[in-house]
Amino acid sequence: MFKRIPVILLALLLLQPALAHYKARYHVIVDTDGGIDDLRAICLMLATPEIEIIAITTVDGILPAEETANRVCSLLKHYRHEGIPVGIGKSQPGRSHPDKTGNPEKTAMARSIQWVRGGSSPVFESLPVSGSLPDATALIHENIALEEMPVDFIALGPLTNLAAVLREDPGIPDQVRTVYWYSDAQDKQDFNYASDPASARTLLQSGLNLNRISATGKQLAKLPGFLAGMDSISSPYARTVRELYTDPAPGFLDHFMATHLADDCVPLYLLYPEHFSTDTTAEQPLRSVSTARTDADLSSLLLAMLDSDQEDTNILFSRFPVNPGLFQEDVAPIVPAIIETHGMKEWRIVAITNEFHEHLGIYSILGAKMGLRAREYFHVGIDELKILTFAGSNPPLSCLNDGLQTSTGATLGHGTISLGEGAVMPKARFTFKNRTIELQVRPDIREKIKTDVGFGVQTYGLDSTEYWAYIRKLALRYWFELDRFEIFDIVEVKSK
C-alpha cells in the first residue's frame, strides 16, 4: 500500500533524492582495450558513487575489441550490473594475433587474466556472437543523446572509437564535456597513440577538450600493505582486484602491471586532481598532460575509492546505526549477520522500510530488496528510476510498494511511482532512460510465503497478538534468509 510518510522519514526519503543528484559528479562512457590496468580502472569507477558509468565500449588495443567485450560483459554480470550497456568497436585486421598488437608480451599477460575470478583460470566464457552487442560508435551516439548531465569520455586505449564518432558527427565536441585519455609517454611512442596514430591525430586536432593523464611509472607503494588494505574492504570490486594477486597468472607478480599504476590513474585523477600536476607547455599535437605527483600516495586513494560505496548517503545520520544494542531484543542478535550477508545498503534500506511501514512486514521487505536489486542492475543511485508497480493498493501485497519507495527514492511526491493495471501480483517495472526491466517475486517464494502466513492465520487467528508476533518472527527470518540476487525473476521489457 502507499502510505503517508512521518516527518522524520519524509526527511530521509524526500530530501535524500535531492542530495543524491550531486553524488555522481561524472557521467562517463568508458572505452577500454582490455588491459590489466583497465580492469582495475573499471573496478574503481564502479566502486565509487562519484562516477556513473553510462556505457562501456571496447576498442582494439592490448586485446581485440570482441575479446574485451566478452570480459566486460562477464564482469558486469558478475557484479549484477547487467543494465550497463556494452558496445564493440570495429576490429582491425590481424589484431587477434598477439604479435600484431604492437606489444605481444603485454597482450599475452592480459590474455592470461580472468576478469571475473582473477588469476589464470582456464575456464573462459565463449565470445559473444557477432552482432549480439551494438556497435561502439552507435552506442556512444545513443548514450550521449540520452544523458541529461554533461558526458565525459574515458579513453583507456587507442582513440579509434571516438574518432569514428567524430567523423560521423562533427558536432560531438559540443556534447562531450571532457575526454580523459591515458597516454603515458611524452612522445608519440606511447602504446595508445602508436596503436592508431591517425585516430589520435583526429582527436588531438579536434575541438574536443582533451586531458591526457599519465602515471609516469607510479608504483603501488608497499604492495603487501596495499593488499592487506584490500582484505579489510567488504566490496566485490576490491575482491576482484585482490584476486589478481591471490590467484595470479603465471608471471603476473613479477610483471610491471602488478606493481605499477597506469590506466587506473584516470579515475584517481577525476576524484583527486590535487595529487597530479599539469604541464600545459607541450607542443601540438600532444597538448597538455596531467601526471601523478612523485610525492602522491595513490595507493591509499585507490583503497579509499574501492571502499567508498558501502551505503547510501544519510541525511540525518553521520553513519547509519549498526550497534545491536540500539535495536529491539529480537533484532539485535541478527544485526551483524544481516549486514555481513546482505551488505550495508540493504541493511539500511530494509531498516528504514520497517520503520516507515510501522511493522516488520514480509512484502515491504521484499519490496525493499526488489528496489535495491533494480538499482544494482542499472548501477544507479537513489531517485534515478521510474516505477510501475503491480502490487495493487490492498495489503498484504500492496506493502511491496512501501519497500519500493524507500529503496529507490521513487515516491508519490516525486511522481516517479504509479500503479499498473492488470492482475495484482508482487512485481514491478523499473525504467531507466530508454530501458525497462520487470522484477517479479519467484513463484516458489510466493507459494512459501502463502503457506507460512496461512499457517499463522490458521493457528493464531487473523489480527491476534500472537499472529502479529508470528509474522514479525517470520519477516525477520525472510529478511536474513532471502537473497535479493536469487528471489526475483528479471526480464527486460522491449519498448513498443
What CATH code is carried by the domain that includes residue 267? 3.90.245.10
318 band by pLDDT with thresholds 50, 70 and 90 = confident
The C-alpha atoms of residue 24 and residue 381 are separated, in whole angstroms, by 9
Q: What is the pLDDT of residues 186-213, one digit of tens each?
A: 666 789 999 999 999 999 888 898 999 9
Residue 98 has pLDDT above 50, yes or no: no
Domain that holds residue 338: 7-17+313-493
162 with 273, same domain: the answer is yes
Residue 6 reports pLDDT greater than 90: no
Confidence band, pLDDT 50/70/90 cuts, at residue 20 = very low
Give me the residue label for grid cell 575456464. Answer: 123
**CA–CA separation, 276 and 265 (whole Å):** 10
Whether 257 and 361 share a structural domain: no
Model confidence at 482: pLDDT above 70: yes
How many structural domains compose the chain?
2
User: Where does a domain end: 275, 306, 337?
Assistant: 306
Side-chain half-sphere exposure of 95, counting CA atoms within 13 A: 20
Q: How far is CA 190 from CA 93, 187, 296, in A?
A: 21, 7, 23
Cell of 141: 551516439
In the chain, the percentage of residues whose pLDDT exceeds 70 is 88
What is the spatial distance between Cα 247 and Cα 259, in angstroms, rounded to a whole number?
Answer: 15
**Measuring CA to CA, which residue among 68, 62, 27, 321 is closest to residue 182?**
62
CB atoms within 10 A of CB 177: 16
Q: How far apart (Å, rounded) are the C-alpha atoms in residues 132 and 140?
A: 16
- CATH number of the domain at 449, please: 3.30.1330.130
Q: State the pLDDT at residue 41.
A: 97
Whether 277 and 171 map to the same domain: the answer is: yes
Grid coordinates of 172: 560531438
Domain presence at residue 381: yes
- Whether residues 179 and 111 fall in one domain: yes
Residues 220 and 253 in one domain: yes
CB 171 within 8 A of CB 207: no
- Cα–Cα distance between 180 and 47 in angstroms, integer? 19
Range in 94-103, 255-264, 348-357, 421-430 with the lowest mean pLDDT = 94-103
Would residue 411 count as lying in a domain? yes
Say whether pLDDT at 369 is over 90. yes
Q: Tell me: pLDDT of 340 over 50.
A: yes
Q: Are residues 214 and 234 in the same domain?
A: yes
The identity of residue 424, as a single letter, is V
381 and 464 in a single domain? The answer is yes
**Domain co-membership, 319 together with 279:** no
pLDDT tens string 137-177: 999 999 999 998 999 999 999 999 999 999 999 988 889 99
Whether residues 334 and 289 share a domain: the answer is no
Whether residues 149 and 274 share a domain: the answer is yes
Residue 2 included in any domain: no
pLDDT digits 0-9 by tens, 443-459? 999 999 999 999 999 99
- Examine the domain organization and report whether 73 and 141 are in the same domain: yes
Asked whether residue 379 is assigned to any structural domain, the reply reads yes
pTM given for the model: 0.90
Q: How far is CA 40 from CA 44, 128, 182, 311, 462, in A?
A: 6, 22, 14, 22, 54
Count CB-CB contacts under 10 A for residue 367: 33
| Domain end marker among 258, 279, 306 | 306
**Residue 275 shares a structural domain with residue 333:** no
Residue 1 covered by a domain: no
DSSP label at residue 135: B
